[in-house]
Structure 1
């Protein structure tokens, strides 16, 4: 009996699914729930987290998105969304609903079609509509057996249509019952879309002409990166051009030479489709005397933030500043004639045969594409091999900085350990006796004496890097990059092995000595970047170096602090006989990572300097301090170089004495010290990515650098007087903010003031002076700390910063070439 009921149910279901009824679902992107920052943040995180929307390396993009985009962009975007918020919803949502209802009403007489709508990022979502379809199929005898998805994006693009298809297929992965599926991937050549666009545009141009306010029409399409079109073969640009031609050639109130095609809404730093709408409008107004321009956005069928605000508000404000005006032509929205025609289009596409469905579209002549402007990249994209090489260089530099900074939070505990177990060591005594003689005093107390240990080790490592960098660079010019990288990375790994077994202070000094020399391979790594990049895309490659430094500075101290919590020698006392000590675990991890890096270079790295080019390079790096301070004949460069030197000397002095102050004042452990450096690193990454990258050009590099230097002063003063964690972290916040603004802006200023043919020499001196500052700063700060107390180097540093502030303030105005 039960079996018969099941078979009957299956026959009924089979009969219904063969009836051929179609559910048409219009799919739009959607909007945030409200213009509140949390709602906008959630919307942007989901939207920009789609790999179809942003198609760069997922790991890299997650870091950029969560560190540099999501913390900052939602506030600005929320302000924009608030301008189009009606108190309960956004235009895109309401227009889509009204459009769907009107299409549904026009198809009521067609029993074979039902109409619904869904959003990718708003409610109702695709999965909700799909669930409704399943329930409807169970409850109704004439439920739809076919789903026809119609994304409301006229032109195809991976970032829109393909993203929507991904959303649909992700729903299907979790379902058992799959309907007959059909997806419309574009309708930019449909007669309904083109004819109604022409009608709407013509009506507005006619009105503007009557008022004497028409000098041209801008068809502004949403942009995408050029790379997608040129290398991924995305047909979006061709579809945009076809749309442009079909509309332009049918307009009655505008001549072909009065109609222009542009692209808007670019995001990020890479090249997008050109010409850019804002730049093109500015040129028309200022240079072509086209003061009144109509703007229409054929990428959208419903008005949204990109049309109402970006074109109707922001572009209009800019146009008035340029001496002209723009008049926004609304999208088709829920216009009655458009709804009539699109309803007929949907009906025909759903029910008619293939031949009849083709008649819904305009056909393009072959010679149409002869006049299509070619998109060209100013900077050639990085090849796969170049990207792999950059990954290797990134890892190399990252590990160099991890090795440099992993010891930061360990300095106080490290010093106390060796003073206890190896107090009579010749080198340990030499450090104290030498500086004691120089300072002509015995110091104040034990902690003040111990701080010299950190300054000495820090200065030693930096001094060796400073000396070794030009040597490694020169050798790599003669022997090739790969041999030098292999040798330096292998020896760096050995230095960590030596540190692992450094039961005596002598072995620790030897380990840091070798590590400092091998860490000078930054010059070789920088040369590799120059080898594999062109002038146009070198900044992208050099950015890898900056990211490696930022992450290394964050992760190095964190690893040092975390791993110091486990003392191998206490778990296995017998290991003390072979030199294993409480700080061996950080050394072990650094060694493992370095050996992995060595293997990776050996297996994957391809030589970037051919034999026929070896021995022809000239290095501008020098370890002669006198040559470094020799003035250069370029206005602004010397003040910037010396200002950077004095600033970094003060800042690095703080870096190397900070952990001792924290231990002395608040009894910090190595892990507590690690938290400080993690905090500093995160603030630096956030400010550089979210503020400096966006605002430096607007505010001006000189002004932002001065602002950063000024912010360092309250930071140093607060730390100098702190006896509480709250005040300490407030001071660290100011220091991180200031340094993250000053360092990249000073680097930019050197480059801006230097003629293009002398960039290498000028920036080489700039970096060498920075390395020298990291030698001088720790030594001077440590001696002051030792001689006059823990507060003095911070007060002295705050006062000392007046020098670089005055220097940078006196920089001449930058003249563009």
Structure 2
């Protein structure tokens, strides 16, 4: 018969403590599948990556997990022994050896992993079973995360996992957490022994060390500066103690660095890799590296330091002498066992003797971290979230009409064919080209070109006007008025039984759509020069997501014809496309309410009327006036010619799909969704990470070149498969060209002229979106559906030649 749980022992010294050493863990195997599972759980922890959860979820699932696991799997395969990883084996062996050195019968040791087996939950389950079967089971817990220095991303993350486990438990014993042991004598003394032994072995082998690098795992500077994480202080305390006590190298040759950067944020410096490159370039041949952020060797030590950093040093004429972690060294295990016993059983004074202490003057060398690009203020973040949401909803409403163009054209030609404006579109083009065109049903592409050009022209004219007005009266009233106007335009579209009403709705919508300039101004208001690029990225993300979701909603809504359910609504102008218009109206109405309730004015009264608004102009002649900066004019005009060809494709694509493949509005929506996802993946997975390394000029050129096979594939597509091949090349090419050309404009321009140059760049882009659809529609109508794509691919040779002539930008 099993013994029942007997509760905590009495207070006469009969308590027993279960000590659990907690490590992070490793993947089950080096397969991409197992590494992806490991990384998904690890990187999803908000303590590990502490940015906006929704934004990080999008980045993680769309940009990180599709690409990083394959690369990480190759790295893990280099340290795989066929059945396990070093971190797992070392932790198990360490625990077993520590157990043999435990003298007290009131202390027992176990190990657990956060992301491997046995997990903390599994160890707890075993402890509960022990309580039921043994009267000598432990009744207290001491959790020791095996990370010597405290950090939110390690210790606090482990504590979160432990407390999450408590929610499912009934039997909860007294427990304690050891949050650091970076100054413990067991850790410091044995690290010194390990370093000295290896330095001596290098010397005996005829390769004495020039420099000893104490390399810690890095964290973003933001965590230390703004979140007050004490990790950096703990690292320096460990470094000071090690430097003081090592005997086999002069203390002046012992330096501190930080490794394992991730993402584009600024991390703690100096970076290990940069320091090694500099040292090797100066003639240091043998550089020893010890990593005291870890007590067990793992990927970050064996591969990152022992392999990758060694390769870097070799490239610069030096070499890395890797000093392993403490792992399962006998004396380390013995000393840590005594340390654990003392922490479980001794009085506070005796426990304190287990640690080294530093005086305040010992910290005089510790640098105060600073950031070249400081994070945004809370007010800036709030404003950017509102701007993001506003633009996102605006662009969903704007792009919801894209997949509907061909069906819209056929509808109005059949029900309002004699309309003045509709007739003017076709007869005007015929007069312009001095020849008769095909019948209206065969030339509906002119409809899309006209509406697209109209909307872009009105945005081109309205954007600088809205920007100037907002400089004088503030951003808030302009945003409220423009969003109200957009809602009104969608309401008019809802009741657009005639083509005249649709034209009027698009006219109002185009004018109000110029509020993008005001949203951009809000970003400039709330950010600094150092972090403005991060703020502007918000606008880019809003565009990308809006152009994915908008067409998808348009395609879905096209399947719901309100007049088929309520025929009498046709008397009020309701038409087969009113459902899409209704959704766009609801989104804009909500956007108006959201802005009214949440947006605080970003331009103080004392600054109104004092801002020089020379960045944008609606005078087309002024746009082509050369700017006095090397490379800037070629970039501007190359971008202009590129967008002419690309925007022409955008506005004729749905018509080609309908004509060639009999696509429905929903089929057209799928095309835009596919384009959006490919653009998001390429920009997030490749351009964001590699453009700076490869060079923006090279990436932009490659993007422009990739557009050519994309245009040709679409131009001759007679199947969905070939069409999507062309779409893939177009999405990939444009996602490489557009951001890199934008970056080149910024790189070629002095800091005090950034606004003016980028304003001209954007205005030329807007003008290209006016001209491109008109020219492409005329060519499509006059020479056939393949023509604008064939001519467009040839036309791209102009911007390709121009961008290839660019000088190397100075960064």
The one-character-per-residue Cα deviations of 1:321-350 (angstroms, maximum 9, x if unpaired) are 223222111111111110110111111112
CA distance 1:11–1:612, shift in 2 (3 Å)? closer
Question: Is 1:647 aligned to 2:646, yes or no?
Answer: no
Equivalent residue runs for 1:199-214 within 5 Å: 199-210=193-204, 211-214=206-209
Q: Match of 1:129?
A: 123
Equivalent residue runs for 1:331-350 within 5 Å: 331-350=325-344
Task: Tell me the TM-score normalised to structure 1 length.
Answer: 0.96
Question: Is 1:694 aligned to 2:689, yes or no?
Answer: yes
The one-character-per-residue Cα deviations of 1:201-245 (angstroms, maximum 9, x if unpaired) are 122223334535322211111111111112212111111111111
Q: Match of 1:679?
A: 674
Cα offset for 1:16?
Answer: 9.7
Distance 2:602 2:309 in 1: 46
Which of the numbers 159, 168, 171 marks the counterpart of 1:165?
A: 159
Cα offset for 1:669?
Answer: 1.2
Q: Match of 1:423?
A: 417
Which of the numbers 754, 764, 767 marks the counterpart of 1:769?
A: 764
Q: Which moved more, 1:48-57 or 1:173-182?
A: 173-182
Q: Match of 1:487?
A: 481
Equivalent residue runs for 1:293-692 within 5 Å: 293-618=287-612, 619-692=614-687
Partner secondary structure for residue 410 of structure 1: helix
Cα offset for 1:155?
Answer: 0.6
Distance 1:368 1:571 in 2: 81
Partner secondary structure for residue 143 of structure 1: coil
Distance 2:18 2:158 in 1: 17
Question: Is 1:80 aligned to 2:75, yes or no?
Answer: yes
Tell me if the contact between 2:632 and 2:749 (Cα under 8 Å) persists in the aligned partners: yes
Distance 2:332 2:50 in 1: 34
Partner secondary structure for residue 253 of structure 1: coil
Partner secondary structure for residue 542 of structure 1: helix
Equivalent residue runs for 1:251-290 within 5 Å: 251-287=246-282, 289-290=283-284
Q: Match of 2:796?
A: 801
Question: Is 1:755 aligned to 2:750, yes or no?
Answer: yes
Tell me if the contact between 2:3 and 2:134 (Cα under 8 Å) persists in the aligned partners: no
Q: Match of 1:59?
A: 54
Tell me if the contact between 1:444 and 1:789 (Cα under 8 Å) persists in the aligned partners: no
Question: Is 1:238 aligned to 2:218, yes or no?
Answer: no
Distance 1:415 1:391 in 2: 37
The one-character-per-residue Cα deviations of 1:265-297 (angstroms, maximum 9, x if unpaired) are 11112221111111222233335x444321111
Q: Which moved more, 1:183-192 or 1:433-442?
A: 433-442
Q: Match of 2:738?
A: 743
Distance 1:123 1:730 in 2: 44
Tell me if the contact between 1:448 and 1:785 (Cα under 8 Å) persists in the aligned partners: no
CA distance 1:15–1:209, shift in 2 (3 Å)? closer
Distance 2:10 2:638 in 1: 80
Q: Match of 1:221?
A: 216
Equivalent residue runs for 1:42-53 within 5 Å: 42-53=37-48
Tell me if the contact between 2:8 and 2:139 (Cα under 8 Å) persists in the aligned partners: no
Distance 2:10 2:72 in 1: 47
The one-character-per-residue Cα deviations of 1:665-705 (angstroms, maximum 9, x if unpaired) are 12111111111000000000000000111111222211111
Distance 1:10 1:36 in 2: 44
Flag structure 2 segments of 5+ consecutive residues without an equivalent: none
Distance 2:364 2:703 in 1: 53
Distance 2:331 2:533 in 1: 51
Distance 2:36 2:506 in 1: 45
Q: Which moved more, 1:406-415 or 1:74-83?
A: 74-83
Distance 2:596 2:438 in 1: 51
Partner secondary structure for residue 360 of structure 1: coil
Q: Match of 1:105?
A: 100
Cα offset for 1:384?
Answer: 1.2
Distance 2:128 2:469 in 1: 70
Distance 1:714 1:704 in 2: 17
Distance 1:560 1:28 in 2: 50
Question: Is 1:783 aligned to 2:788, yes or no?
Answer: no
Distance 1:424 1:671 in 2: 28
Cα offset for 1:548?
Answer: 0.9
Tell me if the contact between 1:53 and 1:159 (Cα under 8 Å) persists in the aligned partners: yes
Tell me if the contact between 1:216 and 1:293 (Cα under 8 Å) persists in the aligned partners: yes
Tell me if the contact between 1:154 and 1:186 (Cα under 8 Å) persists in the aligned partners: yes
The one-character-per-residue Cα deviations of 1:91-145 (angstroms, maximum 9, x if unpaired) are 11111111111112222x4322222211111111111111111112212232222
The one-character-per-residue Cα deviations of 1:172-196 (angstroms, maximum 9, x if unpaired) are 1112111222221111111100000
Tell me if the contact between 2:641 and 2:799 (Cα under 8 Å) persists in the aligned partners: yes
Tell me if the contact between 1:16 and 1:141 (Cα under 8 Å) persists in the aligned partners: no
Partner secondary structure for residue 249 of structure 1: helix
Cα offset for 1:320?
Answer: 2.1
Which of the numbers 141, 154, 178 marks the counterpart of 1:147?
A: 141
Count of residues in Structure 1 that have an aligned counterpart in Structure 2: 808
Flag structure 1 segments of 5+ consecutive residues without an equivalent: none
Cα offset for 1:12?
Answer: 4.1
Q: Match of 2:174?
A: 180
